[in-house]
Amino acid sequence: MAGSRDLVLILDFGGQYTQLIARRVREQHVFCEVIRFDTPADAIEARHPKALILSGGPASVYADHAPVCDASIFKLGTPVLGICYGMQVMVRALGGSVAHSPAGEYGKTPASLDTSATLFSSIPPQISCWMSHGDRVEDLPEGFRISARTATCPAAAMENSAQKLFGVQFHPEVVHTPQGTGILRRFLFDISGCVGDWTMSDFATDSALAVRTQVGSARAICALSGGVDSSVAAALVHQAIGDRLTCVFVDTGLMRAGEGDFVERAFHGRFTMPLVRVDAGERFLTALCGVTDPEAKRKTIGRTFIECFRQEALAMENVRFLVQGTLYPDVIESGSPVASTIKSHHNVGGLPADLPFTLIEPLRLLFKDEVRELGRTLGLPDDLVDRQPFPGPGLGVRILGAVTAEKVRILQTADAIVERHMRLAGWYGRVWQSFAVLPGNRTVGVKGDERTYAYTIALRVVESSDGMTADWARLPFDLLETIAHAITSEVAEVNRVVYDITSKPPSTIEWE
Ligand code: XMP
């Protein structure tokens, strides 16, 4: 990246914390990217990384088809830090041995560090660290020394400082390893020579340049939804190609109440690119008629969305690119080479193969909080940048089963009530997301003296830092009561409100 001298590449072996490693590195103002575990060494060398990090992973290095890296990466002279499975991969590649441990280690574990080791020279000798492994290193490769132990793991860390190769069996990237940031800083700055000068405005400048080069003299359209991601993507591409970008707001009919007007207000006067508003609510409802399976709904919405774009784009000349605000977690959850697919995200998995555009996804390396920072850097207003995330398929994944016009109207009304009261109580900005779900069941109730048989609304409020994991929010009972009362009073078709108290995992944030 121009303007930044540091690049760290993280080889992804499918570990649950790979994205967290990337966040921790970028928090140190060092730019990093997650790449496939099997990227050839010459392709890695060609990018001149300052350091490599090998992530953890669910496999055993001796399992059939266990992911392994190109062993030549250890001869590049680039510092390497192997974490958990990444350390075991290094051991195996360099001639050491790994075996199934008689006692695996999971959770917080005390470890003794050798502070004469290069990696730990500025770290206290006794630390608490986060372990999650069943295999352990038995024999070190030649030239390595043990640099940490725990009660059951004799090689909890190792290093060959002459060759700048380091391994830790524990996870320095998680908060349960309090000294983890210090260890990563030591590796990045003292050992690998990173400078830590990467900023969001570097990212904006570099990305705008890359988009300008890619688009050339053609035109692009952007799928503007009013959410943070597409708005920031549009602002970035607008910076790159000005009014050769046309923003298209497809009102799927599955959006929050009043969304179209909000989008027009937010963009009007701030940017010079044309904004086209397409009212496609009927079209989406027709396409969704009778579709009840969550994955089929996601794919139907994604397909219909692209069809609307195709129509708009065909009416314009020279449009070859489609800008989307796809984020890192969307990319990962839609299936990394080694992680399993959880949901087909609208922005990625739902796209048909015959897409006539080349996709531009300028945010695909960023996490949500980074996108917000980028939005501010690009001059977007706070009320837009601080909006809670809203999924591409919209209310389509919050109405369980078949989507109908009536259900959309009920959910939009209930959802607006949730947002209003979350804001009034000062909770809207304190949580990751707060919204209403319509499970579609009816229960018996009583309103006035009348028996009712009406819908239930589920309230979903979660705290999260990136949407990858989430905890249900401990809202005050009074606020829950206010919301439940407002919904059952203002929405005639609802007589019951329940609160979802599950975290992710085992559930997901959205219900479908
Ligand atoms: P889940 O339900 O997978 O959601 O725990 C994680 C985060 O992603 C959002 N989400 C989506 N965002 N397209 C998007 O742009 C999608 O298809 C999609 N599905 C879920 C969700 O709102 C939460 O913030």
Residues 53 and 130 in one domain: yes
The DSSP code for 454 is E
**Which tokens in the block code for residue 352?**
């048909």
Whether residue 396 has its Cβ less than 6 Å from ligand 1: no
**SS3 per residue for 201-264:** HHHHHHHHHHHHHHHCCCEEEEECCCCHHHHHHHHHHHHHHHHHEEEEEEECCCCCCCHHHHHH
Nearest CA to ligand 1 atom 10: 391
- Contact indicator for 137, 62 with CB cutoff of 8 Å: no
Whether residue 368 has its Cβ less than 6 Å from ligand 1: no
Catalytic residue numbers? 84, 171, 173
Residues 402 and 381 in one domain: no
Question: How close is the Cα of 387 to the center of ligand 1, in Å?
Answer: 14
What is d(CA 245, CA 240) in angstroms, rounded to the nearest whole number?
9
Question: How close is the Cα of 33 to the center of ligand 1, in Å?
Answer: 22
Task: State CA 242 to chain mean position distance.
Answer: 28
Q: For every one of its 512 residues, what pLDDT tens digit does the chain have, with 9 covering 90 and above?
A: 444 579 999 999 998 888 889 989 999 999 998 899 999 999 999 999 999 999 999 888 888 889 999 999 999 999 999 999 999 999 999 999 999 887 778 888 999 999 999 999 999 999 999 998 888 899 999 999 999 999 989 999 999 999 999 999 999 999 889 999 999 999 999 999 999 999 999 899 989 999 999 999 999 998 888 889 989 999 999 999 999 999 999 999 999 999 988 888 888 778 888 999 999 999 999 999 999 999 999 999 988 988 888 888 788 888 899 898 888 767 655 545 455 555 666 554 344 555 678 889 999 888 888 999 999 999 888 888 999 989 989 999 999 999 999 999 999 999 999 999 999 999 999 999 999 999 999 999 998 889 999 999 999 999 998 787 899 999 999 999 999 999 999 999 999 999 999 999 899 999 99
Domain boundary among 338, 355, 385: 385
Torsion-angle region of 65 (φ positive above 0: left; ψ -120 to 50: alpha; else: beta): left
390 found inside a domain = no
Residues 278 and 141 in one domain: no
509 found inside a domain = no
Which pTM was predicted? 0.73
Whether residue 509 has its Cβ less than 6 Å from ligand 1: yes
CATH number of the structural domain spanning residue 436: 3.30.300.10
Nearest CA to ligand 1 atom 21: 391
Which residue range(s) make up the domain with 415? Answer: 398-499
512 found inside a domain = no
DSSP lists the bridge partners of residue 460 as 435
393 found inside a domain = no
Residues 372 and 447 in one domain: no
Residues 306 and 421 in one domain: no
358 found inside a domain = yes
Residues 342 and 204 in one domain: yes
508 found inside a domain = no
145 found inside a domain = yes
Residues 6+ away with beta carbon under 8 Å from 135: 60, 61, 62, 88, 98, 99, 100, 101
Q: Closest ligand 1 atom to the C-alpha of 508? A: 5
CATH number of the structural domain spanning residue 139: 3.40.50.880
Omega prior to 67 cis, within 30 of 0: no
What is d(CA 146, CA 159) in angstroms, rounded to the nearest whole number?
7
Nearest CA to ligand 1 atom 19: 391
Question: How close is the Cα of 343 to the center of ligand 1, in Å?
Answer: 9
Whether residue 364 has its Cβ less than 6 Å from ligand 1: no
Whether residue 398 has its Cβ less than 6 Å from ligand 1: no
Residues 379 and 241 in one domain: yes
Could you please report the per-residue DSSP string of 81-109? EEETHHHHHHHHHTT-EEEEEEEEEEEEE
Q: Closest ligand 1 atom to the C-alpha of 468? A: 6
Domain total of the chain: 3
* SS3 label, residue 297: helix
Scanning the structure block, which residue is given the tokens 């809670």? 388
Nearest CA to ligand 1 atom 20: 391
What is d(CA 436, CA 413) in angstroms, rounded to the nearest whole number?
9
Integer angstrom CA distances of residue 304 from 164, 261, 308, 386, 412 = 52, 22, 6, 28, 21
Residues 118 and 208 in one domain: no
Nearest CA to ligand 1 atom 7: 467
